[in-house]
Chain A
Amino acid sequence: MQATRARGRPGTSALRHLDLTLLLSTIGIAAVGLVMVYSATRQKQESAGLDPAFFLKRQAVFLALGLVAMAIVTLVDYHHIRDYAPVIYVVAMVTLLLVISPVGTSRRGTQAWFQIGAFQFQPSEVAKLVLIIALAAVCAAYRGHLETPGLLTALGLAFVPMALIYAQPDLGTNMVFVGIVIAVLLVAGARPRHIAVLALLGITALVLVVELDMLQDYQRDRLTAFLDPQTDTQRSSYNLRQSQIAIAAGGVSGRGLFQGTQTNLSFVPEQHTDFIFTAVGEELGFLGALSLLGLFGVMMWRIWRAAVLARDQLGRLLCVGVLAMLVFQIFENVGMTMGITPITGIPLPFMSYGGSAMITSCMAVGLVLNVHMRRFS
């Protein structure tokens, strides 16, 4: 098509088309996230005699780093990024390999981190973004008709990081990968039956993993707890129940910021990371949680719109990948706190405490802003 047309240079001309709505909704969600991280950690920190704002301050630093990363990703033309895709991909795979070597750090039986001073870096977070870029680069070349060779290349590209992450093991992150692959292949023009087969394969694989004892007991407990929340013997279903009670206790208008007793009395585990939405539900109530989901909705709408408006297939697929990644994480994480999806360690984008996820999510939005503001160039 118009692939020969001069590529837009990073500059003021493109910045005029920056999607402010997307940027502002992102910053808005992150701001709510900061407040909720503070609310969820303040009291325990205080009772331990530590700085109550400790987590707040660190999360603010993560957000600042994320915004810088977002700016960089936005300004570099995404076609350049595509050109470097092979290098980026190889570096990411080597990093994933290193993290399961003794260089990496293990926590709770999952070896997924590099310890760098006081901070931890989780390469599987960034790997999501790398996969999106790689998939988009490969599939865009097929111009909307993804035939078998392209399909297999794409699946091969996805297989390597998923195998490495399976070795950590981190089931939740791999589920995000599956979501990304299916969405990108769908829009890239894969045949419907290919998609259907893939979806079936994914489900079968999951069932096999659960049934064939390939998981630690606690992993299986967590994954299946939502199916039977009344079984009291499992701590996972207990967490789940507490999370739901907390959200229900919020009612329509919530208990008020910093007033959540379930949250603050630590009945809900990991409330500043994976269960941050519980704090929102309890303290801000239905109206607050609805508003937050509304903000996420606006964000998803703008990303989807960027995909529709994208100048070329590469940009479109990048946006679709980001959309799939964020939607899957939001649905899985929020659904988990309300008991309709399995418990996995997937963070809520822009809300959960954690540096790697925050920076990755920011870069992902940066990618979309990049595509969106170059739609005319």
Chain B
Amino acid sequence: MTQDSSRLRLAILGMVVLSLFCALLTRLWYLQVLASPTLKVEAQHNSVAVVYTQAPRGRILDRNGKVLADNRVVLALVADREEIEKHPAVLPRLAGHLGVPVELLHERLADDRFSLYKPVPLAVDVPKEKVIYVREHQSDFPGIDGLQLTERFYPNGPLAAHLLGTVGEINDKELGPRKAEGYKPGDAIGKSGIELTYETELRGEPEIAKLEIDSVGRVQRSLGGQPSVQGDDIRLSIDIDIQRLAEESLAQGIDLARRSTDFLTGKPFVATGGSVVVLDPRDGSVVAMASNPTYDPNEFVNGISVRRFTELNDPAGHYPLNNRAIQGLYAPGSTFKLATSLAGLRHGMITPRDTYDDQGSYSVAGQRFTNARGARNGIVDVSRALTVSSDVFYYWLGERFWDSRGRLGTAAIQEVARSIGMGEYTEIDLPFESNGRVSDPAGREKMHKDNPEAFPYPEWYTGDNLNIAVGQGDTAITPLQLANSYATFVNGGSVYAPRVADAVLNREGVEIRTVEPKVLKREDIPASVRSPLMAGFRNVVADPEGTAYGAFAGFPLAQFPVAGKTGTAEAPPKQDTSLFTAYAPADSPRYVISVVLEQAGMGASAAAPVARRVLEGIAAKEGVATAAPTAVNRVLGRD
């Protein structure tokens, strides 16, 4: 054989090869030249589905443009539902690869908030190596793909958490009224703080992708659409440096209180939390607002676990999610004497020169009311009464108001307190604010009627009027209301709605809307009324007998004069609430601060040193020569 036979057979083989190639070429010709138009048309007989993808949110900036809430790009693993159904081994394998329970992946896959026409995000913020591995071993993970997603990111962690708020998945209650705005199940939405208040501005415009869908719901091709537009930025009036200082000082103050002994009980203070508010009294803008304990809003970004959320709501943790500055309600104690003093002067119950001899106690209807620690302050006028915190002076004033109720009504002091914003919503641009209450006879009667068991006594006695005069009793206000009432006092009577946001900026950083200061009400507080009180507040800090003198020892009062008022509110069965509120510079205030520490003792001991440290930092920022803020020191003090 034959060379010929061999050649023949090779020729046959060659013919076979040739014919196979011809078959391929024919088919190629058919598909690409002959049938091309038909197949293209055929593809167009499908329906169109619209798929929304949320835009990256706008950023949140502090007053100097420092970024407080940003976006970052994370890697996600997404799944094609149909492919996963066909390869049941993929999810267990992926769960093993990611180290998560497979049930979690099944749950995500079945979650109906994800579009049917979009791959389901099974895992978000996946380490890069894990995504690379999956992409490289595509045949191990059919239907699984890697994708970049943009998600909320708070670069400073817990800093300003209560102000910024959190973002989470929209729920049915939120979705209902927002459907018209194009929200879809599964969308992220602001849940609290600025994220919620300015949701509309921060949200941006979602990407709209039009997809061609065939008769059984499979994506055929993209028909275009419109790209997403990132939301606008919100610039806050917050100064992040002062905010940081306030949070640090607050934490130090709480820590210090826990290490100090309550000499009444001999036990350490529980010091469950507290807050610091710094306002600009000239326009109501919020410079800083701290609440402690706190949390990290980043934990909420991809949906917080049930376990962690339960932890955050455990009473043992003292509710870190609450913004105590606007939600915490506290008896104001002696800080309320501002309202009593204003009422006395306004209604002519006293003049600035009227005095009372404070012998340490005041008796009415057989009941004896004393100063804190039984101090005797001697002959005091209203200014002096504020400086040394004479309760007796205000008991006297409280009784006189009650005696004059026929002329002034039963709630003359309370009305003045409300006129400077106590016990009423401040209308700050943050959600979930509490209004609190300034207790009065009508209110007590109503509470009794509504709930006789909890409030068995409908009557208002003279003693109650003595209590209200010194800020004790059922009265409860928020730390923000406290700061805002002093802001109203120092600015001459304008109650501003405090603002955290200052302006809305577009992507180029151009201001497209200014959040204007808003005056809720205005009641003139004439200089003749203000001056004696301001002198009294100033001496609280400056006079050696002032209640906060010790707390401000060494503070550069000459360059940066501070005036303030301490408060120690009884809150049985809990330990005393420590309060301090101040403004600076004392002659033309640009800052009002209020500090409230729960179960931490005297206002002068716990709250005033915290305020001092924050004011030190503010003074340094204002260019007043002072050493950098040192640690908070607890001081011995009165009231």
Contacts and interface: CB of A to CB of B under 8 A. Distances in A.
Interface in B99-141: 128, 131-132, 135-140
B24 A335 contact: yes
Contacts of B367: none
A308 B12 CA distance: 12
A267 interface: yes
A320 interface: yes
Contact of B145 (A266, A293, A296): A266
Given A49-B128, A189-B6, A338-B27, A183 B13 contact: yes
A218 B86 CA distance: 8
A285 B5 CA distance: 42
Given A48-B135, A189-B9, A335-B24, 15 more contacts: A44-B135, A49-B146, A50-B128, A107-B137, A143-B1, A144-B5, A186-B9, A189-B5, A233-B216, A235-B86, A242-B220, A252-B36, A266-B145, A308-B7, A327-B17
A144 B6 contact: yes
Given A49-B73, A144-B2, A300-B21, A286 B145 contact: no
6 contacts: A47-B146, A187-B10, A238-B218, A290-B25, A304-B13, A338-B27
B221 A262 contact: yes
A48 B222 CA distance: 19
Residue from B14, B31, B35, B43 whose CB has the most chain A CB atoms within 10 Å: B31
A95 B633 CA distance: 77
Interface in B1-45: 1-2, 5-7, 9-10, 12-14, 17, 20-21, 23-25, 27-29, 31-33, 35-36, 39-40, 42-43
Contact of B32 (A261, A289, A300, A308): A289
User: Interface SS of chain B: helix, strand, loop or mixed?
Assistant: helix
Given A108-B87, A186-B12, A189-B1, A286 B215 contact: no
Interface residues of B, number: 57
Interface of B: 1-2, 5-7, 9-10, 12-14, 17, 20-21, 23-25, 27-29, 31-33, 35-36, 39-40, 42-43, 73, 75, 82-83, 86-87, 89, 128, 131-132, 135-140, 142, 145-148, 214-216, 218-222
Contact of B10 (A47, A261, A285, A304): A304
Interface in A145-194: 145, 183, 186-187, 189
Interface string A99-111: 0000000011100
Contacts of A233: 216
Nearest to A145: B1
A53 interface: no
B174 to A, nearest CB: 30
Which of A45, A251, A316: most chain B CB closer than 10 A? A251
A189 B14 CA distance: 16
Given A44-B145, A338-B31, A261 B6 contact: no
B28 A331 contact: no
A79 to B, nearest CB: 19
A331 B222 CA distance: 31
A227 to B, nearest CB: 15
Nearest to A115: B137
Contact of A245 (B6, B13, B39, B73): B39
B32 A250 contact: yes
A261 B219 CA distance: 13
Nearest to A184: B13
B147 A248 contact: no
B148 A47 contact: yes
A281 interface: yes
B9 A50 contact: no
Given A48-B148, A187-B13, A248-B36, A331 B2 contact: no
Interface in A320-373: 320, 323-324, 327, 330-331, 334-335, 338-340
Nearest to B32: A286
Interface string A212-254: 0000001000000000000011010010001011011111100
A251 B148 contact: no
A130 B337 CA distance: 99
A251 B142 CA distance: 30
A47 B149 CA distance: 9
Contact of A248 (B35, B131, B139, B148): B35
A320 B21 contact: no
A258 B455 CA distance: 77
Nearest to B90: A108
A19 interface: no
Interface string A260-302: 0110011100100000000001000110011001001100100
A248 B32 contact: yes
Nearest to B146: A48
A168 to B, nearest CB: 13
B486 to A, nearest CB: 51
Contacts of A308: 7, 10
Contacts of A304: 10, 13-14, 17
B40 A248 contact: yes
A307 interface: yes
A50 B135 contact: yes
A275 to B, nearest CB: 12
Contacts of B138: 270
Contact of B146 (A50, A108, A232): A50
Contacts of B33: 251-252, 286
A140 to B, nearest CB: 11
B21 A297 contact: yes
Contacts of B23: 331, 335, 340
B142 A108 contact: yes
A186 B9 CA distance: 7
B28 A281 contact: yes
Contacts of B12: 186
A92 B108 CA distance: 45
Contacts of A144: 1-2, 5-6
Contact of A265 (B6, B43, B135, B221): B221
Contacts of A49: 73, 75, 128, 131, 146, 148
A189 B4 CA distance: 11
A296 B40 CA distance: 28
A334 B24 contact: yes
A296 B28 CA distance: 15
Given A107-B137, A247-B31, A335-B27, A186 B220 contact: no
Closest 8 pairs (CB-CB, A-B)? A48-B146, A248-B39, A286-B32, A144-B1, A49-B148, A331-B20, A338-B27, A248-B36
Contact of A50 (B5, B32, B132): B132
A250 B14 CA distance: 30
B212 to A, nearest CB: 10
B28 A320 contact: no
Nearest to A327: B17
Contacts of A252: 32-33, 36
